[in-house]
Amino acid sequence: MIDPIRLLQELIRCKSVTPQEGGALTHLGQLLSAHGFECHRLTFSAPDTPDVDNLYARWGKESPHICFAGHTDVVPTGDISAWASDPFNGDIRDGQIYGRGACDMKGSIAAFVAAALNFLDKNQPTGSISFLLTGDEEGPAINGTRKVLEWMEKRGEKMNFCLVGEPTSRATLGDMMKIGRRGTLTGRIAVNGVQGHVAYPQLADNPIPKLLTLLRALDDLELDKGTAQFQPSNLEIVNIDVGNTADNIIPAAAHATFNVRFNDQYSGASLEKKLRATLDTCRLPYQMSIRVGGESFYTPPGKYSTLVQNAVQKITGQSPELSTTGGTSDARFIKNYCPVIEFGIVGKTAHKVNECVAVKDVTALTEIYAEVLKSLF
């Protein structure tokens, strides 16, 4: 029997700060291979991005095929002295396992790997179980899940259902699962001026007031009031920079970055069109680049959401809310290939100092994932 708590501690001890693999995928690949999974270590590259290691492992060749997806990469720890213990040690104190990635999302990976291996130890189902594990979710998300899915498609790998182990629970394990996500768009605006001395403004052209006018137009824009499935789209200005280190120079240029989380009233293309039209009303010169990180998506309630809900209710006694709130995840890529649902641990400490997860929650989550497998097969 695989102990999910011990496995989680082993994964936390792998310093897999994105984009470093840190030994986490190696450890999982060895474990899964030893239990009959066909494992493929996949490294992908792209210009101006780091190479990223990924792992795809599959047991069985028939349908139904359930894929568990997740990421072993974690965000940096920040100031280690602020942690109560080594963030890469996996200490257990007062019923909590501490460490970077305990919550987001090595806890879920340990749970679904343990659930699958323990299930297969006692059952030989007709069907397939696979794991899609990336080291590029917390990074640019270019050389990770998206490219693994393309590789799978070329091989004829078809999934019937994918369960992503992101930390979706809000206050207690089982209170929320995700059946969709808003899209994400990042815009970068540049306004050029003429550098000069602040005492002689007539000889310069200050770009900052122009940039502020443009940003005010975006900030005042009400994109929508939400839909039946999604909360309202929101635009947030996240950075303003003029690269100025002196207080007596009018800068030559000013730059700003904003991010929009948009619902199904927009596509990335239609949203960009609306944003440019809004800026154009200011009648000021600007340049803007747009990157759409993912479109919004929605998996209507049905067979698979009911499967997960029933498993959660059996183990925890509560029926999870079907939600599309929060940020984005690699589910935005998977939804193009099969129905996808996200369900995992309580996410309150994700990315924080002293990130942790309750031992009892990891144990219960393992039981939930096992119940999903029992019901599916």
Q: Domain residue spans in the chain?
A: 4-181+296-376, 183-294
pLDDT of amino acid 326: 86
Q: Which of 73, 104, 330, 361 is catalytic?
A: 73
CATH code given to domain 183-294? 3.30.70.360
The answer on pLDDT for 101 being more than 90 is yes
The total of other beta-carbon atoms located within 10 Å of residue 270's CB is: 11
Which among 21, 53, 137, 342 is annotated as catalytic? 137
What the block records as the tokens of 9 is: 């501690």
Res 327 pLDDT > 90: no
Q: How do residues 195-232 score in pLDDT, each as one tens digit?
A: 999 999 999 999 999 999 999 999 999 999 999 999 99
Percent residues over pLDDT 70 in the chain: 100
Residue 73 catalytic?
yes
Give the mean pLDDT of the chain: 96
237 Cβ contact partners less than 8 Å away, ≥ 6 residues apart: 215, 218, 219, 256, 257, 258
pLDDT of residue 246: 93
Please, which residues bridge with residue 294 across strands? Answer: 184
pLDDT exceeds 90 at position 353: yes
Assign a CATH topology to domain 4-181+296-376: Aminopeptidase (3.40.630)
Residues 6 or more apart whose Cβ sits within 8 Å of residue 256: 188, 189, 211, 214, 215, 237, 239, 240, 241
**pLDDT single digits (tens) 140-196:** 899 999 999 999 999 999 999 999 999 999 999 999 999 999 999 999 999 999 999
Average of per-residue pLDDT across 112-141:
96
367 is catalytic: no
Rounded distance, CA 29 to CA 62, Å? 21
Residue 195 tokens read as 């550098």
Mean pLDDT of 315-334: 94
